[in-house]
Amino acid sequence: MSSEKDSISFTGGYSTVNGINMYYEIYGEGQPLVLIHGGGSTIQSNFERVIPLFAKSRKVIAVELQAHGRTSDRDTGVTFEQDADDVAALLENLNIAKADFLGFSNGGTTTMQIAIRHPQLVNKIILASALAKRSGVPPQFWDFMKQASLDNMPAPLKEAYLKVTPSQKGLQAMHDKDAQRMVVFKDIEDEKIAAIKVPTLIIIGDKDVITIEHALQLHRQIASSELAIIPGGHGEYIGEVTTLSPQTKDTEFVVPMIEKFLSKK
C-alpha cells in the first residue's frame, strides 16, 4: 500500500489489544518512533506530511487509538490511561521492546501516560502541544467542551475520519467520547510528571491552544527536558491538517529539530 502524495510504502494492519482491533501503519527502517495522534484525528490528518521525512531514517509506527480512524471502539469512554495501555499492548504484539514516542495534542497527554505507566518501553518522548493540567488552556476552552457538538468539529477532521471509516455513527461516537474525556479531564499529579525521567522534548506553538506558560511549567517539572516554542498555531509545526495551507513547505516542519533531539546520546 502507498499514499498518493509521496508513494511511500508501508505495512498496515490490525492488532487485537485489550478487546479492540487497533489499526497501525509501519514505515521505514531503523530505531522505532511511535506517532500518537490528537483528539478527533487519524494518522493521516496529523502526520501525513511528516511521516515520509521521519521514515527516511527510522521505523515509524503510527497508530489509531480507540474509536479513532480505523480502530474499533469499546463500550466505555476513552481515557488517556487506557490509550497508553493500548499502545503498550500493541508494541508488545509487534515485538518492540523499546521506542521513542511523539504524541501530538491529546496524543501528547497519552505519551505522558505511557512514560508514567510503561517507563520500560520508553527511550525518549516528544510532547507536542500536550496538556497535563486544566490550567494549561484558557478557561473558555472548558466552556466550549461542555457544549461541543459535531457541527463545530473542524471539517478536515470529519472528512479524514469518514475517508477511512465511512460511518456517521462512528464519527459521532468518536466526537462525543473525545469531548466527554475533556469535560472530565483531571490534572496529572505533579509527582507523576516529575517521575518522568526519560529525555523529553516539549514543543508548543506560539499561537497554540495550550499556553506557553503550561509548556514552561512542564519543562520545569520534567528534569531531562528541552523546550521549543515555534511560530504558529496548534500543530502547524508538523503540518496538522486543520493548520495546513497550500503554501506550507516540508522545510517548515520541526522534523530536523526532533531528529537532532532523538539522535543525542
Q: Is the per-residue pLDDT at 59 higher than 60?
A: yes
Q: Is the per-residue pLDDT at 6 higher than 50?
A: no
Instruction: Say if 259 falls within a structural domain.
Output: yes
DSSP state of 120: G
pLDDT tens-digit profile of 233-256?
999 999 999 999 889 999 999 999
pLDDT at 19: 97
pLDDT band at 5 (very low <50, low <70, confident <90, very high): very low
- Concatenate the DSSP letters of all residues of 218-259 into one string: HHHHSTTEEEEEESSSTTGGGT-TTT--TT--GGGSSHHHHH
Q: Is the per-residue pLDDT at 232 higher than 50?
A: yes
What rounded mean pLDDT belongs to the chain?
Answer: 96
Instruction: Say if 4 falls within a structural domain.
Output: no
Instruction: Say if 174 falls within a structural domain.
Output: yes
Structural domains counted in the chain: 1
Does this model's pTM top 0.95? yes
pLDDT band at 156 (very low <50, low <70, confident <90, very high): very high
Rounded to whole angstroms, the Cα distance separating 61 from 63 reads 6
Containing structural domain, residue 84: 11-263
Instruction: Say if 6 falls within a structural domain.
Output: no
Instruction: Say if 68 falls within a structural domain.
Output: yes
Q: Is the per-residue pLDDT at 60 higher than 90?
A: yes
Query: What is the spatial order of strands in the sheet that 20-27 belongs to?
Result: 11-17, 20-27, 59-63, 32-36, 99-104, 122-128, 200-205, 225-230
C-alpha cell at 127: 510532547
Rounded to whole angstroms, the Cα distance separating 35 from 45 reads 12
Name every residue whose Cβ is closer than 8 Å to that of residue 231 and which is 6 or more positions away in sequence.
Answer: 205, 206, 207
Closest listed residue to residue 42, CA positions, set 23, 64, 13 = 64
CATH of the domain at 259: 3.40.50.1820
Instruction: Say if 2 falls within a structural domain.
Output: no
Instruction: Say if 3 falls within a structural domain.
Output: no
Instruction: Say if 46 falls within a structural domain.
Output: yes
Mean pLDDT, rounded, for 28-44 = 98
